[in-house]
Structure 1
Amino acid sequence: MVYTLERTQFFKCSLEEAWSFFTNPHNLATITPDALDFKVLDTFDTNEIFEGMYINYHVRPLLGIRLSWRTKIMEVIPQRSFVDMQEKGPYKLWRHRHEFFAEDGGVRMTDRVEYELPFGILGTWAHGLIVKNKLREIFDYRYKTLEKILNDAHYN
């Protein structure tokens, strides 16, 4: 079964500033809870993602078990949207679209994640019991962290 998680957040900054923050692969660990021990394994010659780029990580999502995760940047429409897709990792499917909309006073950003777990009925059971809530916690953390970085720090 394919699940969807969607979040929207407003930033009181320019489209250029929001785009620059989100497309810098070095910022991924900053918006991920420390408990996940998220580490980007690559070093990059660029501070901006590009179509076809691979990003490799280690993450400890459950019980301290370290997993390898590899995503590919599938699509980039500058200052509009980008899509990353898991090529290797804990999900059967992970497709994450980030969209940016300039509005009066700032930028509205929407995250839309489509994901599917492996293991059939066991995956469905794990989703209801653990995964759904864990993803909500991660995106709640992202929301709070992004408020501090792109709203509070610059505009209070």
Structure 2
Amino acid sequence: MKLYQIHTRQELPISIDKAWEFLTNPNNLKLLTPPEMEMTVLYGTERGVYPGQLIEYSVKPLPFLKTNWVTHITQVEDKKYFVDEQMYGPYATWHHKHFISEISGGTLMEDIVHYRLPLGLLGKMVQPFLVKPKLEEIFRFRESALIKKFGMYTAPSNQTTLKQDILN
């Protein structure tokens, strides 16, 4: 089975402390998910991320598919990164690394997701026209939601900004 990758970057005009506090609070997942996905966090919101934490939520990744999704937080380094892996859900494999780092005037947020699809050849066939576009839409929504919440990052005049990069 093929392993696919998504790699995104976004600059936030907030401190690394504020970014970490927001991004590691499971209650904020719903704010970063398109409303049509009907996300509801069911379990695991008692505190910010920690190694061994399980987070369960109900989500509708496609109009015809509603499922529960359980993620396991496997690694955390305070104010640097955390990793979640799907234990149960719509993917055969889901491994999501969330990185943050301080940049001039804000925080750089970087996500690297590796995933495999179920259903063998059928999964491979729907990847380019169903799964990949849906994931791109989700990450665009998240970018827009973060801009709405925190504002647009403006690089100091001697800096260049990184752009979002979505790979297959």
Both proteins in one fold, TM over 0.5: yes
**Residue in structure 2 matched with residue 38 of structure 1 by the alignment:** 39
Which residue does the alignment assign to 1:7? Answer: 8
Q: Which residue of 2 aligns with 1:113?
A: 113
Equivalents in 1 of 2:60, 2:45: separation in Å? 23
Q: TM-score, normalised by structure 2?
A: 0.87
In 2, distance between residues paired with 1:43 and 1:75?
16
Structure 1 window deviating more from structure 2 (135-144 vs 60-69): it is 60-69
CA distance in 2, matches of 1:135, 1:107: 23
Gaps of 5+ in 2: 153-168
Distance 1:12 1:91, change over 3 A: same
Structure 1 residue 22 corresponds to structure 2 residue 30: no
Q: Distance between the aligned counterparts of 2:147 and 2:80, measured in 1?
A: 20
Give the structure 2 partner of residue 68 of structure 1. Answer: 68
Question: What RMSD over aligned residues (CA atoms) do the two structures have, in Å?
Answer: 1.0
Shift of 1:43: 5.6
The CA distance in 2 between the partners of 1:15 and 1:62, in whole Å, is 33
For each residue in 1:43-63, what CA deviation from the matched residue of structure 2 results, as whole angstroms up to 9, or x when unmatched? 6332x1111000001111112
Supply the distance in 1 between the matched residues of 2:112 and 2:36 (Cα, whole angstroms). 23
Structure showing the higher helix proportion among its residues: 1
Residue 80 of structure 2 aligns with an amino acid whose one-letter code is: R
Q: Distance in 2 between matches of 1:79 and 1:28?
A: 18
Provide the rounded CA distance (Å) in 2 between the counterparts of 1:146 and 1:58. Answer: 22
Q: Contact between 1:3 and 1:115, CA under 8 Å: does it hold in 2?
A: yes
Which residues of structure 1 form unaligned runs of 5+? none
Amino acid at match of 2:97: R
Contact 1:72 1:86 in 2 (8 A): yes
Residues 80-95 of structure 1: matches in 2 within 5 Å? 80-95=80-95
Say whether residues 1:99 and 2:96 are aligned partners.
no
- The answer to whether the 8 A contact 1:7-1:112 is kept is yes
C-alpha displacement of 1:125: 0.5
- Give percent identity, aligned residues only: 37
TM-score by length of structure 1 reads: 0.93
How many corresponding residue pairs?
A: 151
**Counterpart-to-counterpart distance in 1, 2:133 and 2:112:** 16
SS in 2 for 1:41: strand
Contact 1:5 1:114 in 2 (8 A): yes
